[in-house]
Amino acid sequence: MNLSQPIDNSGRQIRNILIGFAAILILYILKMTANIMIPLVIALFIFIVVNPVLSRLDKMRIPSFLSMLITLILVVAVFFLFVYIFFVMVNMLLQTDTGLPAYAVRVQQLDRQLSAFIAPYLDEDPVTFSILAYLDINWYGVAMSSLTSISSKFISIISDAMLVLLYLLFMILERQTILPKLMAALPRGKVQRVSQMIARMNRQTAKYTFLKLIISVITGILFYFAAVITGLDFALVWGVLAVILNFIPTIGSIICTAGTIVMALIQFAPDWSNVIYVTVLMIGIEMVVGNIIDPKLQGVQLNISPLVILVALAVWGYIWGLAGMFLAVPLTSIIQIVCANIPTLRPIAILLSEGRYYRRDFDKKRKKRNAPVHEADDIELPDEMGQDR
């Protein structure tokens, strides 16, 4: 009688339960320490992006102090450019004559028109029925309070940015010693594997962030010119929002496109021709960028399931709010690479993957052996998922 199999299964189940509890505990700790961890993680991602610049400056034999100073100046310049554009946008929206206050009357007119059209279908009085009143949302008050609260948080934004820059400074100062210290701290048998895993994470994260920035800037420029061509107000706002929201996969582009369409309704209705122009242009831009430009620039995409990306957006958004949604994809990619290189966590990496490699091999073996669907053979983990061999 062989008792080793039940014992092994029991031990595996206990181990899986402990891994689940550990994951939940880690996520809870990350949520509780968000004020500390978010600036640190943002600084880490900025460091990953600028590290190739530092390496290139080192190859040009530029002194390390000067290369560090050049890199920090570039980062600070980009940050203050973003802050300047951001507050120009907020000031533009708060203007009494041309900003949101000027659209309050237009929204009320549009509400009356739509309410009169919908009221007969809801058995309501077309004279007294109002969609805005029915929804019970003070959109104008919410929008104005949000804009003013953002302006009042300027000091908080600057302090968080200074903390990020401080973290980044010390990461740059220790960039030549971080990896050697980590390798010295690991057992000899793990050094090569961990080194390859870190190199893959660094390469994949840097590539994703850099190319995503290029794609986002292209999207923002196209949105800006589309708004200018169609006469849509706040063209700068839509361009900048397109750049920012494009970093949130799927959801960000939907929000930005829907926002421009709603703005076109408020501004142009009942001139439906302009509304149609804006709708076709904005949706067309997202289709072209998402289906042509993005695949061309990115090449091999991150091997992460679209469903997993949506779940990651929800999870990281719950843990770290808006910052978590921006960081969701690269963080999930890092988790996948780590799991792929740890035999115990390898099934998690498989579940996070897109699955096309497994489907291809699975179909080949099914055709070859004519096996039922539930009798799949073991399939090797593809290199694209992050496991170095």
How high is the pLDDT of residue 368? 66
Q: Residues 66, 69, 73, CA angle at the centre, nearest 5°?
A: 140
Q: Return the C-alpha torsion angle 97, 103, 104, 108, nearest 10.
A: 140
Please tell me the distance from the alpha carbon of residue 336 to that of residue 353, in angstroms, as a whole number: 8
From the list 162, 165, 164, 160, the residue with the least C-alpha distance to 68 is: 165
How high is the pLDDT of residue 275? 85
How high is the pLDDT of residue 223? 92
How high is the pLDDT of residue 135? 60
How high is the pLDDT of residue 127? 66
| pLDDT, one tens digit for every residue, the chain (389 residues) | 454 455 456 666 777 778 778 888 888 898 898 888 888 888 888 888 888 888 888 788 888 788 888 888 888 888 888 878 777 777 777 666 666 666 766 777 777 777 777 777 767 766 666 666 666 556 556 565 665 666 566 667 777 888 888 888 888 888 777 777 777 777 776 777 777 777 777 777 777 888 888 888 889 999 999 999 988 888 888 888 888 888 887 788 888 898 898 888 888 877 778 888 889 999 998 888 877 777 666 555 567 777 888 888 888 888 988 888 888 888 888 888 888 877 777 888 888 877 666 666 666 666 666 655 444 444 444 444 444 44
The label of the residue with tokens 């740890």 reads 342
What end-to-end distance do the CA atoms of the chain give, in Å? 38
How high is the pLDDT of residue 233? 83
How high is the pLDDT of residue 151? 57
User: Which residues lie closer than 8 Å to 348 by C-beta, 6 or more apart?
Assistant: 335, 336, 339
Enter the pTM of the model: 0.73
Q: Residues 217, 221, 226, CA angle at the centre, nearest 5°?
A: 145
From the list 186, 191, 194, 202, the residue with the least C-alpha distance to 340 is: 194
Please tell me the distance from the alpha carbon of residue 271 to that of residue 251, in angstroms, as a whole number: 29
Q: What are the residue ranges spanned by the domains of the chain?
A: 34-185, 202-301, 302-389
How high is the pLDDT of residue 137? 57
